[in-house]
Amino acid sequence: MVNKELNWLLSHPEIESKHIGEYVAIAKDAVVAHGKDFKEVLEKAEKIGKESFIHKVPPFDRELVV
């Protein structure tokens, strides 16, 4: 599951641009919840009833190059 959602997120960079500094819950190739508080995002995603991948978008719009 995680690989599918992570690949979807990587192919949609506009999601990270839109949600800088937020947690983003992804399920079935869609953002199902987002916000600054992890617990709130998790609760919103669970209410939808889909197993979600939750990703924290870094607070700065920068890439880490290793």
Give me the residue spans of the domains in the chain.
Answer: 2-56
Mean pLDDT of 23-40: 95
Confidence of residue 63 (pLDDT cuts 50, 70, 90): low
Look at 3-7, 8-12, 23-27, 55-59 and tell me which has the smallest mean pLDDT. Answer: 3-7
> What whole-number percentage of the chain has pLDDT above 70?
88
pTM above 0.75, yes or no: yes
Contact 53, 15 (CB under 8 A): no
- Compute the distance between CA of residue 46 and CA of residue 32 in angstroms, rounded to an integer: 10
Please tell me the predicted confidence (pLDDT) of residue 4: 87
Which of the two residues, 58 and 36, has the higher pLDDT score? 36
